[in-house]
Amino acid sequence: MAEFAAWVESTAISKALFGMVWLWPLCESLHFIGLCMLIGGAGLLDLRLMGMFRGLPIRHVKALMPWGIAGFIINAITGALFLTMQPHLYLTSGVWWSKVAFIVIAGANALFFETRLALPALALDPNADTPPGMKLVGALSLFSWFAVLYCGRMLPYLGTGN
């Protein structure tokens, strides 16, 4: 990984991007905005799946998903730019790989919901409580996204790569 990071950093594209001094703070700002969109959009669905916000039909909450996905895409793009500019900070960091693992867990969980639970969820009465399976999926999603946030924000203090 260290060699790969060194190679990425030696490429012209990495040097050119890192040379634009405004790009890093711009990407950080967008990364924060994307994170709010993701947690706002996905979080409300997660809380509804956990049984909160009863009275709110799940189809209405699910309509927020495109905004959550848009936030994720913004963060994937800005994240890829950070990685291209300073790969050594991330690729040899256990904290960063934990972040990636939580993204994979959250993604797999969302896919499981979409393919297995979305139809029964949409059919629920707006005032009904949710079954345990949906509560678990909602809680796992919320926990994973906040774990992603935690790993990202704490990365400089818990350990960047070398």
Partner 1 sequence: MAFFHSLQNSAFTDWFLGSDSIWTYPTVLTLHTVGMAILVGASFVINLRILQVAGAIPLQRLQPLYRFVWIGFAVNLSSGLVLFVTEAADRVVDPVFYVKICSIVVALSFGMVVKRNAIDRSDSQPAASARSRFLAAASLALWAVAIVSGRLMAYLKN
Residues that bind partner 1 (CB under 8 A): 25, 28-29, 32-33, 35-41, 43-44, 52-53, 55-56, 60-64, 67, 146, 149-150, 153-154, 156-158
What separation, in Å, do the N-terminal and C-terminal C-alpha atoms of the chain show? 11
Instruction: Locate 104 and state its tokens.
Output: 């994979």
Of the two residues 133 and 150, which places its CB atom closer to partner 1 in the complex? 150
Contact 149, 39 (CB under 8 A): yes
Select 95 or 134, whichever has its Cβ closest to partner 1.
95
Pick between residue 8 and residue 150 the one whose CB is nearest to partner 1. 150
DSSP state of 114: I
The phi and psi torsions of 60 (rounded to 5 degrees) equal -70, -40
Contact 90, 96 (CB under 8 A): yes
Distance CA 14, CA 90 (A): 14
Q: Which is nearer to partner 1, 2 or 122 (CB)?
A: 122
Give least dist CB 61 to partner 1, A.
7
Nearest approach in angstroms of CB 71 to partner 1 is 9
The nearest distance, CB 69 to partner 1, in angstroms, is 12
50: left (phi over 0), alpha (psi -120 to 50) or beta: alpha
Residue 159 CB, nearest approach to partner 1 (Å): 10
Nearer to partner 1, 8 or 143 (CB): 143
Structure tokens at 116: 């297995």
What's the min distance (Å) between Cβ of 154 and partner 1? Answer: 6
